[in-house]
Amino acid sequence: METLVSSPLQMKPQATAPAVDLANDLARGRAAPRRLSILGATGSIGRSTADVIAAAPGRFAVEAVVGGRDAKALAAMARELGAACATLADPAGYAELADLLSGSGVEVAAGPQAVVEAALRPADMLVAAISGAAGVAPTHAALAAGRMIALANKECLVCAGAAFMATARRAGARLLPMDSEHNAIHQALGGADPATVEKMILTASGGPFRTWTREAIDAATPAQALAHPKWSMGPKISVDSASLMNKGLELIEAHFLFGVEAARLDVLVHPQSIVHGLVSFADGAVTAGMAHPDMKTPIAHCLGWPERIAAPVRRLDLAELGALTFERADLARFPALGLAMAALARGGGLPTILNAANEVAVAYFLEGRIGFRDIAAGVEATCEAMERAGEAREPQSVEEALAVDHIARERARGLLEARPNSGKVRV
């Protein structure tokens, strides 16, 4: 088992680390702006990151902004943030992006290789907020180059967690958890010795189907799955939150980030989404990270780290809230969470396979090609098929993880398309 002390997250700041330079500069009253690059700048996390930057004038400068397909949104974000460079993953959008930014002085690029190059441009911190395994290659390249990463993209660690953590240690690079639960746990840990941690608990709001019957959940539509009661997020993570696969992915994320094995990780459903993560210690003490459910709080914690910066969010008034409630997760109604727990416990290539199959299934569900229950069924069938075929060995590198991811996507597509004319597919 990895230990917290050796985790890149917990390493003591080095004298040469940019974050420490910033802290020293601030103490001397001559802070240079921290230079950020943002992968996934046009998404939900990207938008909130721009809002945090705007609320801290003079504190940040933006090097690169990266988006997927939407040239208009990326051009607008590049202008808003005064970025030096704007990169679109889709090469077909290059001409439109260049046209929109002509005369602005913003450098323009497009294509998957250009995304990796954008991630490698000189910056103090990379905000990794692409959705899905598409974030693995550019985020890993920046990590290998020693860049400090504010990690929103949990799929990086689910797909290639062991390789990511090994690279972070080798490169002396720091991974700051931006996912709200992991950010809360990072804060609740307060640098504690991992031997004294009995449990790390991630909370889940329970999503839009928390009180629904199994039959009603099975028949849920994309619009119902996207209507999250507490968080406003991109479509993929919203569906994952409805199935509770998101919490399963987060358990795997926590395992790699904090070096804590499955038996010391737990999930608690907490509909108010005020307590995001808890750490339970051997002396009976429990510390918790609390905030309103607004990603600008963990984003600000990462962007300013190790300093605290002001974030444009509502302040917490517990008396106004009155009551906070907690309940156990129901694995019978939310089988995706159980599948992720099993993948974490069994290890090997299963987290990578689970993540890839889930991405394919969620995309099919959003396109109306399969039903909600088929997401978990398709993930389970893909994991079983690849285990049976001896294709679930642990990837030894990011390249191997991406190769397993590729095979798992093909298998998942094959399984989900097995009966293409039957309407809602049942695997």
Contact positions toward Mg ion, by CB under 5 A? 179-181
The answer to the question of residue 42 lying near ligand NAD (CB under 6 A) is: yes
The answer to the question of residue 360 lying near ligand NAD (CB under 6 A) is: no
Minimum separation from the CB atom of position 199 to ligand NAD (A): 22
**404 within 8 A of 354, measured Cβ to Cβ:** no
Helices (H) and strands (E) in the chain, counts: 18, 11
Minimum separation from the CB atom of position 313 to Mg ion (A): 16
SS (H, E, C) 175-235: EEECCHHHHHHHHHHCCCCHHHEEEEEEEECCCCCCCCCHHHHHCCCHHHHHCCCCCCCCH
Instruction: Tell me how far apart the alpha carbons of residues 228 and 239 are, in angstroms, rounded to a whole number.
Output: 9
Given the rule CB under 6 A, which of 34-42, 261-269, 333-341, 405-413 is the region that contacts ligand NAD? 34-42
The answer to the question of residue 248 lying near ligand NAD (CB under 6 A) is: no
Kindly tell me which of 381 and 409 has the beta carbon lying closer to ligand NAD: 409
- Which of 212, 207, 281 shows the shortest CA–CA distance to 247? 207
Given the rule CB under 6 A, which of 13-21, 147-155, 157-165, 413-421 is the region that contacts ligand NAD? 147-155
Minimum separation from the CB atom of position 122 to ligand NAD (A): 20
Minimum separation from the CB atom of position 211 to Mg ion (A): 21
Rg of the chain taking only CA atoms, in angstroms = 21
Q: Which two tokens stand for residue 333?
A: 């109604």
Residue nearest to Mg ion as judged by C-beta position? 179
Minimum separation from the CB atom of position 46 to Mg ion (A): 16
Binders of ligand NAD in range 65-94 (CB under 6 A): 66-68, 89
- Which residue in 2, 96, 179, 380 binds ligand NAD (CB under 6 A)? 179
The answer to the question of residue 289 lying near ligand NAD (CB under 6 A) is: no
N residues, the chain:
427
* 277 DSSP β-pair partners: 202, 289
Buried b (16+ CB within 10 A) or exposed e, 191-208: eeebeebeebbbbbbbbb
Residue nearest to ligand NAD as judged by C-beta position? 43
Query: CB within 8 A of 386, min separation 6: which ones?
Result: 349, 353, 392, 407, 408, 411
The answer to the question of residue 115 lying near ligand NAD (CB under 6 A) is: yes
Residues at the site binding ligand NAD, with contacts judged by CB under 6 A: 40-46, 66-68, 89, 115, 129-131, 134, 152-155, 179, 231, 233-235, 237, 295
